[in-house]
A and B are shown apart, each in its own frame.
Chain A
């Protein structure tokens, strides 16, 4: 199947500084993709090249199997990091204008605006001026603006920033619904909890380079299951000297352990069983946040 998005060794520098330095990834249809990274990592620069706002210095961007072209962009919906709406115009006027630019007739645009605003629970606000709306509300309007032309790819820069938990849930539900309808979604964020619940695959970038990418399970497996929790009875002192252990938090009958790279958790279990009575032994999935912090810190050191 043709990937919806393909980035091939994309590079972009501004005034000698490489904002994006050779990033490649691809996103299949009906897929939610998370673009992660700390502030200033190059997320927004990457996104801008994907939707033709800027063009890469080298490398290539392909959407729907075609080189980036205005014709292809009709199938893309974009939600910028900051709200881009005319503050003095009403919500409806803003959306109709953007819908028309995206190639819709006024009637179709109004129809879709009505259905989306009722779906997101903001029908009462369509005749208000944008400046009267709260930030979260404006964000919803912006989201609708990106959906009006029913794009096959939705690109969102920090879509969850500034949303309260209720609206965050609502947006997640909508995104899952879009994926079920076969749409591809890419969003950038620096909040890992959202990614873990939502994304099929991720790309973690730092200083313009991809430091980690793949499907969520690949990423987690690749980063080893190095965290172990043991509930035990007996003298846990012997654990302290074990060469497999990198770090240890011993609470007396509960210990949280990080293994050394390459160490086998089964060996630790055997060692533990020889000295204490093991009640519970659990190998923990590393949280994405831990991986994220570890990767970024390693690079920075």
Chain B
């Protein structure tokens, strides 16, 4: 009984796919996950960065008041503040300072009419210890920009006193434009922070997706086994056809989900300026998406084959639990390596871990994302991974064939090895 019918595989995979895609849990996971992920990623930005807030409500301008006895200095600072790119401060100057002024500013602050004010009295001017009174203490972007603007103002005023022209001052204090550019890539500018976020998101999606769809294959095998559907199916299709169909069908569900996520991310960044600024997913470039899909497919084939074998051995999820853990172990190890690999992607540990086939779908992908590994390592990881997949498929297929028809007590290791030897 060795003829392998792709038509039957197709029928089996199609049923598996359609049944899974229709479930409420799939729809929920597909559409709720990006929303949740977005919230978790963007929440800090929402709370902390006034840039984000300002992009969101562009009509509203944060009012910042600079109160100073030195009017020229205050005006220089305000000028610099408004000159900064991407800021929308409606800044004004109050000069000279007086206790009455201060009381009035406090009232305005309480009433929410202003975002905050800087109090530059004589002692502050002398010591350069400046206080920014604000209702948003955590707003580090405003704080940094104010600091930059004030430093600029102090320096500019001193230069003017020393006889520099306005042009000289501007030229001298012109800030350095610093950008990180990814090594090995074309000269396109690369934003490290955004890039890292995207890579982490992709790596975690890979991790959870491999895990959840692998377990899904296992549950599905167990379900068919315990409801005796396998017996009926085995009359019409071979064990190989069944297992292949099941793995392909479930895997397509995973790919569908990931495709929807990519589409949502692309759509989101396209439509919303806010999302675009916070999470430039497509910054990663098409080649990384291709790598993602390839590594996802290979990783899925590896893990789903193992899980299919486990599903065939055991009758209930509980029984399978401890074995599950053994299988998940390399995945957990890989997830623990995500950060170290990100920071030093060419260290010996990172290289070895990313070549280890049970970790490579996650770690080699991550290395590709953060820094180009040598080609031979990439090829070697593919060879090792594909070789392991073939081996695991062979072993799992044999276990599956016997296991799905065995009920009752769970087999011993000796029995398992006998299943392997059945021709």
Contacts and interface: CB of A to CB of B under 8 A. Distances in A.
Interface of A: 15, 48, 51-54, 69-70, 73, 76, 78, 80-89, 97-98, 100-102, 142, 145
B235 A86 contact: no
Nearest to A52: B1
B405 A54 contact: yes
A101 B236 contact: yes
Given A73-B235, A81-B228, 16 more contacts: A52-B1, A53-B234, A53-B235, A53-B405, A69-B1, A76-B235, A78-B231, A78-B232, A84-B227, A84-B233, A86-B227, A86-B229, A98-B236, A100-B11, A142-B232, A145-B232
A51 B228 contact: no
Contacts of B231: 48, 53, 78, 80, 84
A101 B9 CA distance: 9
A70 B3 contact: yes
Given A53-B405, A69-B1, A83 B227 contact: yes
Interface in B382-423: 405, 415
A102 B227 CA distance: 20
Interface string B201-241: 00000000000000000000000000111111111111000
B8 interface: yes
A82 B235 contact: no
Interface string B1-44: 10100001001100100010000000000000000000000000
A83 B235 contact: no
Given A53-B235, A53-B405, A97-B15, A80 B227 contact: no
A84 B15 contact: no
Contacts of B235: 51-53, 73, 76, 78
Query: Secondary structure of the A side of the interface?
Result: loop
Interface string B64-99: 000000000000000000000000000000000000
Contacts of A81: 228
B1 A84 contact: no
Contact of A101 (B12, B19, B405, B415): B12
Contacts of B236: 73, 98, 101-102
Nearest to B415: A15
Contacts of B1: 52, 69-70
A37 B233 CA distance: 26
Nearest to B241: A101
27 contacts: A48-B231, A52-B1, A52-B234, A52-B235, A53-B234, A53-B235, A53-B405, A70-B3, A70-B238, A73-B236, A78-B235, A80-B228, A80-B231, A80-B232, A83-B228, A84-B227, A84-B230, A84-B232, A84-B233, A85-B229, A86-B19, A86-B227, A97-B11, A98-B233, A100-B11, A101-B233, A101-B236
Nearest to B233: A101
B101 to A, nearest CB: 73
Contact of A84 (B12, B228, B415): B228
Contacts of B237: 101
Contacts of B8: 101
Contacts of B230: 84
Contacts of B15: 97
A243 to B, nearest CB: 51
Contacts of B232: 78, 80, 84-85, 98, 142, 145
A85 B232 CA distance: 8
B229 A84 contact: yes
A98 B3 CA distance: 19
Contacts of B415: 15
A150 to B, nearest CB: 14
A293 B236 CA distance: 37
A54 B423 CA distance: 12
B234 A88 contact: no
A82 B405 CA distance: 13
A89 B23 CA distance: 11
A84 B236 CA distance: 13
Nearest to B414: A15
A31 B163 CA distance: 118
A285 B19 CA distance: 55
A181 B19 CA distance: 37
Nearest to B8: A101
B11 A85 contact: no
B104 to A, nearest CB: 70
A162 to B, nearest CB: 14
Nearest to A79: B232
A88 B19 contact: yes
A100 B18 CA distance: 15
B408 to A, nearest CB: 10
A97 B405 CA distance: 21
A142 B237 CA distance: 17
A51 B3 CA distance: 17
B230 to A, nearest CB: 7
A81 B228 CA distance: 9
Contact of A48 (B3, B238, B405): B405
A82 to B, nearest CB: 4
A85 B224 CA distance: 8
A52 B237 CA distance: 11
Contacts of A54: 405
Contacts of A76: 235
A77 B407 CA distance: 22
A197 B415 CA distance: 43
Contacts of A83: 227-228
Contacts of A78: 231-232, 235
Nearest to B15: A97
Which residue among A70, A87, A145 has the maximum number of chain B CB atoms within 10 Å of its CB?
A70
B238 to A, nearest CB: 7
Give me the 6 closest cross-chain CB pairs, A-B, nearest first.
A84-B232, A101-B236, A84-B228, A84-B229, A82-B228, A70-B1
A106 B19 CA distance: 17
Contacts of B228: 80-84
A260 to B, nearest CB: 44
Which residue among B11, B229, B236 has the maximum number of chain A CB atoms within 10 Å of its CB?
B236
A15 to B, nearest CB: 7
A76 B232 CA distance: 11
A289 B385 CA distance: 62
Nearest to B408: A14
B90 to A, nearest CB: 60
A168 B12 CA distance: 33
